[in-house]
Structure formats: C-alpha cells, structure tokens
Structure 1
Amino acid sequence: MKRSLYGTALVGILALTACGGGTEAADGSGGDGPQGEFTIAYGSQPPTLDPSATTGTVTRHIGRLMYEQLIAFDSNGEVQPVLAETFELSDDATSLSFELREGVPFHNGETMDAADVVASLERWVELSDVGQQYFSEAQIESPEEGVVTVSLPGGMGVMPELLADPTQSPYIMPAEIAESADPDGATENIGTGPYQYGEWATDQHVRLEVFEDYVSPEGETDGITGERGANFETVTFEFASDASTRLAGIQTHEYDMAMPLPWDNAEIIEEAGDVYIEPGETTFGAVLFNKQQGPMADINMRRAIYAAFEPEPVLQSAFNNEDYYDTATSLSPDVSPWYHEVDHEMADLALTQDLDAAEEYLEEAGYDGETLTFMTTRDNEEHYNQAVVIQQQLGDAGIDVELEVLDWPTVLDNQSNPDVWDLTITGFSWRELPVTTAFLQPSFAGWTDDEDIAAAIDDFRYADTEEEAIEAAEDLQMAYFEYLPVLQTGSYATLAALSEEYEGFMNIPGTGEVYYHVDRVQ
C-alpha cells in the first residue's frame, strides 16, 4: 500500500536543490557486494546516534543507516511501507494498522516482532515533539501476532504522514533497549538497517560497519523507501569543525565526501576536476526566541527584532552568492500546497529593516538596555556568520547583544535550559506538513505557547478534506505572524562535495541527505 498526502506529491523545495548526483545506483546493492570504505567529513558531531531522541540533522543522516521506520516518505511525498509489509488507516481515521514484515533481523541477532514496535512507538510518543503533540492519547497495541495498531480517540486523517515524517521518526529498536534507553538517546545502537554500529570516537569519528544479515524492504528504490543495501564494508563520518580542513581533505582525497563547505569555495572545487558539487540538505535558518522567560517573552521585543533585521546582509555573510539562498518568511516553501502569502505587517518587516519601527516596539516593551545572550557555534559557520551580522543589526537598533560561542552539542543541550539564553540560531528542514515544524511545538526550545497556533494545528490535523486543511494552513501562517515564535533568516542548501569516483548521493526535499545509494562509479 502507498499513500499520498491528499493525493498531492510534495516535491521540490528550491530550484537549487535538484536531487541526486551522477547516476543513482540502481538498488543500493553495489553489484559485487560491499567493498572498501566510504569516508564523509562532517562539520559537527551529533549529540546522539538515536534519531528518535532528537531533531538534529546529523543524527538523522547517520542514524537512518542503522535504524529504519515502519513507514516513510518516498521522493514524491508518498508514504510507503518499510518495516511494515502493509498499513491501513480506518475509514473514520481513528486507527492505523500495520502488518509487519516477517524475518527482519536486528543487529544483535534477534528478530523484530510486534513487542519491539510497540515499545519503540511508545518511547517515540514520550520523546518527540510530534509524538507528545499528536499521540499523547494514543493506544498502541498488538491485537495479534505480527500486527500493531495505533488508535486515537478522534479521527486524524494525517496520521500516516505524521508517523512517516523523517525529522524525528519512530525508528524501531529492540523492546529491551527502547524500554530502558535514556531520554537523551540510546547508548546501545541496535537497529535493522544495512549498517550497524562500529565505533564512536568522540570529537573524531563515527564508524558504521556492514550488517551482513540485512534484509531489505521490497519495491522500487526511491530515496529512503524500497530496496536498498550496503555498498561499503564501512562508512565513516569524520568530524572536522574547520571548513578549510574539510575542503583540503576532499581535494587531497583524504575524504570521499565533505560537507558543509562554504559556498565561495564552489568554483575552487569545480576547477579541481576530480571533485564535483552537490547541494546537501535544504534548510531555513531561524533565530529562536526564549519565550518562556526574560525579555523575549514580550511580543514587542520580538517585533522589535523583526524590525531591526534585514535578511540580505545576513544571508550574504553566510553564503556569499545570491544564487544559493533566498528569503523565507513562510512555514512552507512556495512550491508546497500549504504555502500561503499573508498580508501582515510582520511579514513585511521580516524583509526590510525599519529602525524607527524597532524603536517604537522597544519603547512599548519597556526595554532598558538589558544585554541579550545570543547562543551560537562555530561548528556551523553559516550559523555563526549570520549571528554576527544579526548582532550588528540589533546593535544598530539599540539592542545590546552578547554572542556566546559554544560547540554544537553544548548548544543543543543548552537549548532545553531557559535560564541560559535569550536568542539562538539554528536551521530547520522544510517539513512535509507545516504543523510538524519543531518550533511550533510547546515542548521545543523557545517554548511556543499560543492559542491561535494550537487551534490552527488542531484544525489541520482533524481536517476531513484537502480544502479544510489548506484553510487551516493559512490560519496557521497568520497566527505565526501574530505570535512570532521565531525569526526566519532565509532558505538555503548546504554545499557538499564528492570525489568523482562516487555517484548516487541524493538530497530529497523534506527528507534530507540519503547515503544508501552512494556507490563507486561502475
């Protein structure tokens, strides 16, 4: 069974994010079986390898090689089975039933069964923002061997899409691990994927090894769905926080792939001749506001920052070339059926600096020159460069800002502590469903708490028709500008470089970077 969101394929985010590199490997099998090592240089290391425990993109990209979902989006935005053989939503949309594939082994030699799936889903509900927001009242059970059902007290037509969302999905692990794992992430990384955990040397690398007993889902290979396998004996993610180190490493072939790289290095890479460029994950930058306490809990302070902000210098500082970025003020990209342009003052202020308006909002907020703590990192240069220019712009408006520069894992850890920051900058993947955007969830860093946003989200998830859902998405966009949970800085894709000896890398809008199909050029 496959399911498309209201029959609409959600494809394409920005013109610059064309999928794929070279010729995609046909089925991820590699022809002659797994051979050699593939080494990727990454700019930052993850806080955990457990993708059910965080929305972090590095965790997701590494973790999905080890862990798999019950269902997932293909490259056309259609929901396909992965560890499920089939799935079916009841006519009243209150129950989603999964028939599980038989004979799927975990990396520890056990065979996946319904108890593992139930435990993994229950853990995901507790840990994830989407789980807490939409499935807190769910009854998850196995009515018979090989079958798992998720039941809700009311109908939810988008239940399959919510469970397929790749950002923080319910990845399946053995029940004993799911039931005992730390909320910050499982330390015993055992899944069903084509690669298994090998080694994590902190601040150095994560090495994954081929899982010889891997059993692939069937079906046409398409992104993170369909047939796939391991093309290498090992895949190693080397952590190199300095961009010049990553660039030098890909040029000397110390690395087979490197990301992210500064966009002003694009011509240098192309001129090398034996390396080619691919866009990595498409994201939009956002300044999170600590709305739980402190100055940013005041809506007029958030309005003042909107008025002080000007996107072009901020984006130029990080990406250098306007061909590779765009302004963004919406919860969905302009190619999405959920995209809406709304007539709102804040939508205009987000695009053009107005220091007079900023002064008025600061006066209404009663701002007295208090220093705002702006948390950022040099592990992601685009985050740091944007933060520096935003600090300058806010200073021009009379807002005193101090940058606190930390390593990326510490930033992620500190985001959950409202006592230590006022502003922080990060990136978000465009979501298949705008209602699942992390910063709209009350439990996510920034602590959004707005009745109109909550009402629009409820209207969306309980919509019976596409028209009702589109109307709810428009209401959500209007509520966003009324409340201002974040400040979007713009939309951009990271720059990846690969040795010409390899092909098959994919970047799928809404899903991100896919390594299953990377292989040597035949």
Structure 2
Amino acid sequence: MRISLPGRISLPGRRGLSRLAAAATLGAAIGTTLAAAPAAAQAPAPNQTLRVVLINDLTAIDPVLSQAAFVRNHGFFVYDQLFAFDSEGKAKPQMVDSYTASPDGLRYSFTLRDGLAFHDGQPVRAADAVASIKRWAQRDIVGRALAAATASMDVVDDKTFTLTLSRPFALVLEALARPTGSALFVMPERVANTPANVAITDPTGSGPFTFSTSDWRAGDRAIYRRNPAYRPRAEAPDGLAGGKVVKVGTVEWLAMPDPATAAAALQNGEIDFIEQPTPDVVPTLERNRQVRTMAYNPVGFQVWLRLNHTQPPFNDPRARQALLHIINQQDVLDGMGVRPSEQIANCPAFFFCGTPLESRAGATGLGAPNLDQARALLREAGYNGAKVVFLNASDSPLNNASTLVMADAMQRAGLNMDVPSMDWGTVTQRRNRREAPEAGGWNLFVTVANVLDGQNPLTNQYLASTGDAAPAGWPKDEQLEALRRAWWEESDPAKRQVILDQVQARAFQVLPYIPAAQFRTLSAYRSNIEGLRPTTVPVFWNVEKK
C-alpha cells in the first residue's frame, strides 16, 4: 500500500519567544513562607459568551484517569491547583496561602487560602487536597516519583496539611504545580476517593468556571459558566499563576474539526478563538482586519512518535534504532506545511530545543535517511514483514500530516504499514490496549506535545520507562529510570546538568519515544478579544470580549 501525503501548507512568520521559555528550567529552590492578600469573590461580569475551538473535542472529564490534553484543558476550567507555574516557570502558591519547608527540605507544611469553596458550596479542606494528591499520585509519573519519596502526608486541621519525605526530592513545589500529563487538580474528598482506575462522573471543582454534564454534548459542545463564588488571588495573572478573574459569563468549547469551517466561523464572528488553526488557513486569517494572531505557545511543539515496546517489531531496540535512520525531521516539518521561519530545524532534544535544558547528548539520525542501515537493523531485530499498525488521528491536521509522512518513509524502508484512520479520542482509548496489533492493538502513534509536557526528566511522562507503570507504550529500562531519579534528587545545578546529558544519551539508546520534529504555531482570535496571554495551555480567565 502506498500512502498519499497532503500538499504543503504555510505558516505565518516567526514570533519571538516569551519568558515562558524559561518554564523548561524548574528551579529547585525551596521557599520559606509566602502569603497572598485575601480576595473577595468575583465581581459581576458582563453576561457574554466566548466561543472557542480547541485542538480536540472534549470526550472525557477525569484529569487523573486520562492524560489527554483535552481533559487537561477541561481541568483548568473547573478546578484549581495548589501551586501554579508563572511565566518564568516558577511554582507559585495558588490555592495555598502559605507554606514552610524545613532546612533539610524533608518536611513541608501547607496552609490553604481563606474562602476557598467547591461549586456545591462546601469549603475546600486540607483533607480534599490530600485525597486529591493521593489519587493523582497513583497514575501520574510526577506523582509516583513524589509518592515514592514520601514518608507521610497528614491532615493537621481543615486548612493545613504536612508532607514528610523519606529521601531527597528537589522539586516538591513543582510537582504540586503539575499542569500536564495527569495534571494535579484539587477535587472534593468524596470524588478524589474514587479509585484511580475508575473514571469520575462528578465534575465538581473549586475553579473559576462551573461545568454541568447535562449541557455537555460530545462532538458538539461543552459549556462552562462563570463561578460567582470563586475568590481570585490578589496578584496579577502571570503564566498559569496569579489571579483568575473571569470576565465573561459563559465559555462554549465547540467541536469544529474541519479547519476551513473553523476559519470561516472566526472570520464571520461566529466564534472568538481557535487554538491551533491549520497552517494553510493562517495567511487568510492574517489578512482579515477583524482577526489577530498570537503565539499562544511561544516555545513550540514537538511531534512525539510513540512506540509500543511490548509488541514486535519495536520490542527489540534494534528495530527502534532503525527508525532513527528512516525518519527525516525536515520531511516531517515540510509535510505538515510548517514554513521555514516557524521550524526548529534538526532538534533531537528530548527536553525541547531553545530552552536551558536543551541537550543533544547521544543524538543520532533523524536527518538524511540511511535506508540500508535501517534495513540491516530491522533484519537483526528479526522483522519478518508483519503489519505495523500506525494509529492515525485524522481529525488532528498536524498529527495526521506527520503520521502520513513518517508512515510513507517507513514503508519505503520495507516496513509493512497499516495506517487506520480514527479521531483523536479513539486513539487515546485504543493506545491503552495491550493486545497484539492484529487483534486490535497497535505499534505506533503520534502525539504533539508542548514544553510543559516535556520540560525535564521528571515531568516528561513519555520518558518514563517503568514497564507496566509507564504510559501507553510501556517502555522499561532500569538504567534510564535510575538516571531520571538521580536528576530529581540532585539539588546541585552543575551536577544536575551532567545527569541530564546522561538521561538524554540513554534515552537515545532505548528510545521510549522519538522526538520527530519541533515547530511553532499561532492561535487566532477576534480583534475584540482582550486578555489572552502566552500561557502554553488554553485558559480563559482574565479574557474580555469588548
């Protein structure tokens, strides 16, 4: 089977990086005590509706059970966080009012802000925070790492809880600010007590918006209403931290998978914001005086090629290595239509290029293909011509284009490619299946990640190589895990940089995934929308519709 590729499309000119690039360096400094002035509940806002089109439709609502970006986006509407990252990548108190840390960094005490309440009117208690951390820690790689270093976590009173470590863990505050993967949001204790492998159905949070499942129509829209009882912090918004002041009455998250339809709706004023318009429609949008564009994620995205380490042929490291000599990052970027000014050329860095944690240690391949070497490695791995199932999220234009480009290259190298098309929601379900590819399983899929997903050895969930405990793909490598743990336990910056290079080099040997390309995109919005900021993930507090 020959795989056809989409025509090339173009992106607008390069936009400068913002301070959010520094989010790749999660500092390990331990605070002593911080406090924010108490804030009143939100003042009345105009009863306006903001209509947005995000990368994917909302098909699930449990931010612990699912690691999909659309569930994370939902979470930022309805929940709040104990800590949150500012635009410089520093973890700042959010629901926490003040905290203390012992001189040895092994004991923390956290006190919640006054006036925090869930959407059902019940106060937010320390018991809710502890239960939420415990549920989250069962599934998220950052949570698991923190839990492994934790001796105890105890409720002191309704507003205070403590965390005692059994061994060094240099990134406690950053862990509690986890914004991606299975992001750490605080739920009521009664909800957080749901087993971590069972989906929650109650969307009660304490965040700036409320959500009703009765209004939610998957494939059509999800509706979020301003929470009048929410008490924003007194600080100005900064990254994902600071005051979350809702300035519209309702946000409607619309399902609009056809890029041309979404672009036309934006130009006509039927919608207000598109998170990631396809590159081919951006020039048209830029010519419309009623439309503005911005780099919502100024650091950019990476295409991650995820391999199933439990099924042939990629259970053999030689077959995984063969892909490095098949995939050409330039071809992937060109196939997606990313014009040169928006491309991050030749980027083999697992922790993103253009950031303080960029490393190229051990990198090889991903440039001009060497098919002879690839075929030799496949023969050594015992590849016998069996079908390679490459899941294709055809409703996500960038995922679709990058998948088709790489599948075509693999086919030319001698792999027998099967590329079934489905929507991204189906990919997120099927990738959890453990069966053989011919029995409904899979070999490969693509996901597009931002810098918050891959910023360092702790938070990069797809780097985790813990076997059955790892995300779908289930890589297992004890040496890589030992290096990752050494990195987050080490507090000396110079030593951590040495370890980081070792992590990068080992990752290129075992390939839990392949960084197949890095690029930037723009978001588009109506000119009467104010308050959007380069927060990397889409949030709509402090956004006004003039």
TM-score normalised to the size of structure 1? Answer: 0.90
Counterpart-to-counterpart distance in 1, 2:545 and 2:59: 30
Matched, 1:438 2:461: yes
Q: 1:453 to 1:189 in 2, by over 3 A?
A: same
CA distance in 2, matches of 1:440, 1:133: 13
1:486 to 504, 508, 513: 513
Give the structure 1 partner of residue 538 of structure 2.
513
Structure 1 pair 19–231 and aligned structure 2 pair: CA distance change class (3 A): farther
The match for 1:290 is: 308
Q: What is the CA distance between 1:181 and its match in structure 2? A: 6.1
1:394-473 aligned within 5 A: 394-419=410-435, 420-431=441-452, 432-441=455-464, 442=466, 443-473=470-500
Residue of structure 2 in register with 1:142 after alignment: 155
- 1:339 is the counterpart of 2:352: no
Using the TM superposition, give the Cα deviation of residue 31 of structure 1 relative to its aligned residue in structure 2, in angstroms: 8.2
> Do the aligned residues in 2 keep the contact of 1:42 with 1:258 (CA within 8 Å)?
yes
2:444 corresponds to which letter in structure 1? L
Tell whether 2:179 aligns with 1:163. Answer: no
Percent identity over the alignment is 23
Distance 1:96 1:414, change over 3 A: farther
Question: In structure 1, how many angstroms separate the alpha carbons of the residues matched to 2:503 and 2:46?
Answer: 47
**Structure 2 gaps, min length 5:** 1-13, 21-38, 436-440
* Change over 3 Å in CA distance of 1:469–1:47 after alignment to 2: farther
What SS is found at the alignment partner of 2:418? strand
CA distance in 1, matches of 2:122, 2:78: 15
Match of 2:107 among 84, 95, 119: 95
The CA deviation at 1:334 is: 3.3
How far apart are the structure 2 equivalents of 1:165 and 1:46? 21
CA distance in 1, matches of 2:355, 2:457: 10
Verify the 8 A CA contact 2:457 2:487 in the aligned structure 1.
no
| Counterpart mapping for 1:357-396 below 5 A | 357-396=373-412
Change (3 A) 1:403 1:490: same
Question: Is 1:81 aligned to residue 96 of structure 2?
Answer: no
SS in structure 2 of the partner of residue 49 of structure 1: coil
User: CA offset at residue 335 of structure 1?
Assistant: 3.5
User: Could you tell me whether the CA contact under 8 Å between 2:94 and 2:241 is conserved in 1?
Assistant: yes
Q: Distance in 1 between matches of 2:92 and 2:149?
A: 25
Quote the residue 1:348 is aligned against: 364
Per-residue CA deviations over 1:229-285 (Å, capped at 9, x if unaligned) read 111110010011111111111111111112321112221111111111123343211
CA distance in 1: counterparts of 2:177 and 2:353, whole angstroms: 22
Equivalent position SS for 2:78 = coil
* One of 190, 194, 203 as aligned partner of 2:208: 194
Instruction: State how 1:140-289 maps to structure 2 within 5 Å.
Output: 140-167=153-180, 168-180=182-194, 183=197, 185-198=199-212, 199-281=215-297, 282-289=300-307
Q: Equivalent residue of 1:506, what SS?
A: coil
The 1-side partners of 2:336 and 2:500 are apart by 30
Bigger drift between 375-384 and 141-150 goes to 141-150
Query: C-alpha deviations, 1:140-159, integer Å up to 9, x for none?
Result: 21134421122221111111
**Once superposed, what is the RMSD of the aligned Cα atoms?**
2.2
In the TM superposition, residue 132 of structure 1 has moved relative to its aligned partner by: 2.1
2:411 and 2:417 in contact (8 A); partners too: yes
Judging by fraction of residues, say which structure has more strand: 1
- Corresponding residue of 2:9: none
Give the counterpart of 2:339 among 321, 335, 340.
Answer: 321
1:43 Cα deviation (Å)?
4.0
The letter of the residue matching 1:439 is Y
Residue 297 of structure 1 aligns to a residue whose secondary structure is: coil
| TM-score with structure 2 setting the length | 0.86
- Secondary structure at the aligned position of 1:434 is classed as coil
Cα distance in 2 for partners of 1:57, 1:184 equals 19
Letter in 2 for 1:398: G
Residue 319 of structure 2, aligned match among 298, 301, 304: 301
- C-alpha displacement at 1:18, in angstroms? 4.3
Letter in 2 for 1:65: F
User: 2 CA distance for matches of 1:428 and 1:42?
Assistant: 15
The one-letter amino acid of 1:195's match is: F
SS in 1 for 2:318: helix
Counterpart Cα distance in 1 of 2:484 and 2:69: 24
